[in-house]
Amino acid sequence: MVEKLSQVLHGIAASPGIAIGKVYLMEDDDFALVQREITKDETKKEIIRFKEALAKTRADMLATQEKILKTLGKEYARLGSAYLLILEDPLITRDVAKKISEGVNAEYALYRIIENVVRSFEMIDDEYFRERKHDIQDVGKKILSHLLGKEKRSLAGMAAQSIVVAHNLTPADTIQMRENLVRGFATDIGGRTSHTAIVAQSLEIPAVVGLKNATAQMRDGDTIIIDGNQGLVLLNPPPEMIENYKREREIQLAQVRELEKLRDLPAQTLDGHRVMIVANIENPDEIKSVLNHGAEGVGLYRTEFLYFNRTTLPTEEEHYENYRRVAQKMLPYSVIIRTMDIGGDKLAHFDLEGFAEEKNPFMGLRAIRFCLKYPEVFKTQLRGILRASADGKIKIMYPMISGVAELKAANKILNAVKEDLRREGKPFDEKIEVGSMIEVPSAAVTADLIARECDFLSIGTNDLIQYTLAVDRINENVAQMYEPLHLSILRLLKTIIDAGHNAGKWVGMCGEMAGDPSFIKVLLGMGLDEFSVAAVQIPKIKKITRSLTMLEAKELVSDIFSSDDNESIADKIKKHEFKITKK
């Protein structure tokens, strides 16, 4: 027997953790079919056959949506809703039938229409929406399977603990993971914003996506290791590598168990300085994880999910119910709700007047700019937030504020909504706090003025770094230049924190920098009051905070600002990290 060679495949880390096991391969049929010409008499039969396949696919999707609702909750059921919306789109229901009428078989007509739609999605710059092309392909394959009378291999057939390897996984596939013996999974396509990544994170299953051709290189029963921390998949690794990863997994699990002991302890330095460690969330179903990891509140509730995968704008009641649910579950802690942070180009399908295609949506009509242009959409969300504030401790935060004028304009609309609710006799927190995100350089250098007009500041480092350094962090040609430790960034952060404190306001941070263990000591030394991070990062941030003194942190910051290049800054931070680990 010829010994199988080991390989290392590089992909995208979609969900952290290490999984070791045998491959359960879900092979994907090529979505390419031979054209068959049909007569006029056959056309009617082909259209009927296509409509029957649509009906069967719809029934499958409704069953999947119901299962998602029962297993993961209402918010994740939107994953199934997205597929139903695609299925009902005229591009499929109308255009495929029209193509059949031109004299081709149903399978080929479906293939051509799906191919055209996917090609148009590939032209979109935004990663989230570009990823939706895979959803369209999945819907096409579901219809095709009914046309051909074929069934895709299901996770239900899994007999032993395995690692799933597939070209892509649909919500119908991933929902079975909780019910079966899935240790981890790897896919050819997908990114951090794909449905499979979202579900994997919610179920805490190690996953790597975007491997390109993993399915072509693997067979059922192959041994693989999923390294969801680094985005690696090791195919048929040698025994010593398996043992190394087993030890690493045990170390990580032991670290998790040790960190769990800190859950109910405060984030307080050795010399008594207290900071707040709170969580970033995207939907109400994350609250259980937030509380389990010891968060002291929600520092960033991203509300964009309410606007995705639908054809109508969310109603006031939808806003209210979602925010009320989170606020009540988080009591006695507070929840900071960020108003919508999406570009107008993402909302064009809601039939709002005055849209034009934007060549650079990241600097276009997005976030607070969109809200000020369309105040009625903004008011609907603000009414929902304010009403929910009567049932919990809620704060409001505006994204993408570029200066005092925008902040005042937003507050003017907020005050008008408050007055409307008073007239209607609807209760809300009259003392609700309002904060501004500082994520644009213009806001950073005028943070002292902005701080006077709000109750708190929250630094969004992801965009602040990107805009300040003129670096697109998802552009592989310049991504290495995205440097949080750039002296200009560190100076801006110190300026923002000092500006807030001088105005008597607290300052938090909700960007990725706040959750990176390498930067905690620096941010503490600068005086940051609140760290808002992913729930799983909270115990580690607490441990670091409780392992040092404010005096040490301030000394590090002073040392850093005496540097004049990034390399020496990084060296100084590493030396201080070493001190912490040795204590």
CA distance linking residue 380 with residue 303, whole number of Å: 13
Active site residues: 195, 510
User: Can you point out the beta strands (E) in 297-433?
Assistant: 297-302, 334-338, 393-398
pLDDT along the chain (583 residues), means of 10: 65 89 77 69 88 88 73 60 76 84 87 80 61 76 80 67 85 62 87 68 81 87 93 93 94 84 90 95 84 94 81 90 95 97 64 66 82 94 98 97 97 98 97 97 97 97 90 66 88 97 97 88 96 89 93 92 80 64 41
Indicate left, alpha or beta for 506 from its phi (over 0: left) and psi (-120 to 50: alpha).
beta
Q: Which two tokens stand for residue 457?
A: 């500041």
Q: Which CATH class is domain 40-148?
A: mainly alpha
Contact 474, 127 (CB under 8 A): yes
For residue 499, give the amino acid letter. Answer: A
Residue 116's CB: how many other CB atoms inside 10 A?
A: 12
Alpha-carbon distances, residue 81 vs 62, 135, 320, 485 (angstroms): 8, 11, 21, 42
Q: Which two tokens stand for residue 152?
A: 């895709």
For residue 25, the cross-strand partners are 165
Q: Which two tokens stand for residue 423?
A: 């007239």
CA distance linking residue 544 with residue 188, whole number of Å: 37
CA distance linking residue 370 with residue 200, whole number of Å: 32
- Does the domain at residues 7-28+153-256 carry the CATH identifier 3.50.30.10? yes
Predicted pLDDT of residue 578: 43
Using only C-alpha atoms, the chain has a radius of gyration, in whole angstroms, of 26
Q: Are strands 232-235 and 7-10 parallel, antiparallel or unpaired?
A: antiparallel
Give alpha helix (H) positions in 184-238. Answer: 195-203, 214-217
Q: Kindly report the backbone phi and psi dihedral angles of residue 513, in degrees, each rounded to the nearest multiple of 5, phi listed first.
A: -60, -35
Look up the CATH number of domain 261-582. Answer: 3.20.20.60
Structural domain spans, the chain: 7-28+153-256, 40-148, 261-582
Q: Which two tokens stand for residue 316?
A: 């006031």
Q: Which two tokens stand for residue 415?
A: 């005050």
Angle between helices 127-148 and 77-87 (to 10 degrees): 70
Q: Of 578, 460, 448, whose CA–CA distance to 501 is shortest?
A: 448
CA 495 to chain centre: 29
CA distance linking residue 547 with residue 126, whole number of Å: 40
CA 428 to chain centre: 30
| Order of strands, sheet of 18-26, starting from the edge strand that comes earlier in the sequence | 7-10, 232-235, 223-227, 18-26, 162-166, 182-187, 207-209, 12-15
Predicted pLDDT of residue 435: 98
Helix/strand/coil (H/E/C) assignment for every residue in 15-32? ECCEEEEEEEEECCCCCC
Predicted pLDDT of residue 159: 67
- 276's enclosing H/E stretch is strand 274-281
- Please tell me if the domain spanning 7-28+153-256 has the same topology as the one spanning 40-148: no
Predicted pLDDT of residue 264: 86
Q: Which two tokens stand for residue 263?
A: 């859950």
Residue 424's CB: how many other CB atoms inside 10 A?
A: 9
With 0-12 / 13-18 / 19 or more C-beta atoms within 10 angstroms meaning exposed / middle / buried, residue 487 is: middle
Does residue 238 have a cis bond before it (omega within 30 degrees)? no
Which residues does 578 contact at the CB level (< 8 Å), separation at least 6?
A: none
Query: Model pTM?
Result: 0.69
CA distance linking residue 185 with residue 164, whole number of Å: 5
CA distance linking residue 545 with residue 549, whole number of Å: 8
